[in-house]
A = this chain, B = another copy of it.
């Protein structure tokens, strides 16, 4: 099988590097085009990241030798597309919201599909926010998106904020089993890698917590409603429920966002904690059924020990793509409580983006 050639925008940043690492040996995709800021453009990739490579695993010799292009230069990518070096791009751009939005649109207009980690297009009404286990059918909006904008081959699809990943799958699994959630109160304890590099100063993280992450609570409360929403006349219509309230904290952890969740069901409630564990253990989505390369075997792993999940021990479960849950118990105020963990730079960033690309290829939108 011939691999699809892919490009990475923002390839030298934290998430861009994670893409490079995770796409090493990917059976369907092969990195052939890398673009970054003008400062890096014109250097070999290995030179551009020298001294600021953050990962334990390193990049392949092939990728290290690729010449970095200017991410602002869409024409350059269009040439690469024609040359067969860039069939679609992962966008890990770290510029302002407005620039990101226009630039991603320019790539799409040039015929290059954009699978984005940026938040710029999450609230664009015809752009799907995908979690392949939950709303794979949201890809159905793409033809409408293309039509409305006059794009032939290009389109934009995005992934949600990393902080909600740990509880979206369990909430969805319960809804699918007939127990939709009505209200959620969530407190997250989020890893510093979520802020990129240099990101959070160490003076703020030694013997300390920062009880605030700009914009994070708003995203946590709104994005799930789009993901659980439906397509109506070519645009997304948000779900009405669940109603969510979030506290987002930054804590001294490198990778892995933890969420403490209190959940109130609607009228129908599961009979027992065991029933819920069974629902979670049995849950599978399209990525599992279609056996996508990046998909975890089991999207939700429940641990029975009373002191799990823990970021250092559980974040890497099943290629860091599974959600690990523990401490399910009745809630004094709502119905149930639990603690959930997800790897924020893999499942919550580059790994999630790759899974989205696998879904889109499966659906025939990438080739």
Rounded to whole angstroms, the CA-CA distance of A209 and B308 in the bound complex is 9
* Shortest Cβ distance from residue A193 to the other chain B in the assembled complex, whole angstroms: 6
Q: Are A203 and B212 in contact (CB under 8 A)?
A: no
* Residue A183 interfacial (CB < 8 Å): yes
Rounded to whole angstroms, the CA-CA distance of A337 and B193 in the bound complex is 26
Q: Are B207 and A202 in contact (CB under 8 A)?
A: no
Residues 197-235 of chain A, each 1 if its beta carbon lies under 8 Å from chain B, else 0: 111111111111111101000000100000000000000
| Contacts known (A205-B206, A207-B207); A249 close to B189, Cβ less than 8 A | yes
* Residue A72 interfacial (CB < 8 Å): no
Which residue from B183, B197, B202, B332 sits with its C-beta under 8 Å from A244?
Answer: B332
Q: Are A208 and B244 in contact (CB under 8 A)?
A: no
Which residue from B51, B55, B221, B312 sits with its C-beta under 8 Å from A332?
Answer: B221
Contact residues in B for A334 (Cβ distance below 8 Å): 185, 245
Copies in the complex: 4
* Shortest Cβ distance from residue A284 to the other chain B in the assembled complex, whole angstroms: 22
Q: Are B311 and A208 in contact (CB under 8 A)?
A: yes
Q: Are B187 and A333 in contact (CB under 8 A)?
A: no
Rounded to whole angstroms, the CA-CA distance of A200 and B197 in the bound complex is 10
Q: Are A243 and B332 in contact (CB under 8 A)?
A: yes
* Residue A146 interfacial (CB < 8 Å): no
Residues 318-330 of chain A, each 1 if its beta carbon lies under 8 Å from chain B, else 0: 0000000011000
Q: Are A201 and B203 in contact (CB under 8 A)?
A: no
Q: Are A199 and B203 in contact (CB under 8 A)?
A: yes
| Contacts known (A183-B333, A260-B187, A260-B211); A206 close to B253, Cβ less than 8 A | yes
* Shortest Cβ distance from residue A89 to the other chain B in the assembled complex, whole angstroms: 26
| Contacts known (A51-B305, A305-B51); A200 close to B199, Cβ less than 8 A | no
| Contacts known (A56-B313, A316-B56); A202 close to B211, Cβ less than 8 A | no
Contact residues in B for A208 (Cβ distance below 8 Å): 253, 310-313
| Contacts known (A192-B206, A197-B201); A252 close to B251, Cβ less than 8 A | yes
Q: Would you list 20 pairs from A and B whose C-beta atoms are within 8 A, ordered by A residue?
A: A56-B313, A56-B316, A183-B333, A185-B185, A199-B201, A200-B203, A202-B206, A204-B310, A206-B207, A206-B253, A206-B254, A207-B253, A207-B312, A211-B308, A212-B306, A221-B332, A243-B332, A243-B333, A245-B331, A247-B339
Q: 13 other contacts beyond A192-B202, A208-B253, with CB at 8 A cut-off?
A: A51-B305, A192-B203, A193-B203, A200-B202, A200-B203, A202-B204, A202-B205, A206-B206, A207-B312, A209-B258, A211-B339, A245-B262, A245-B332
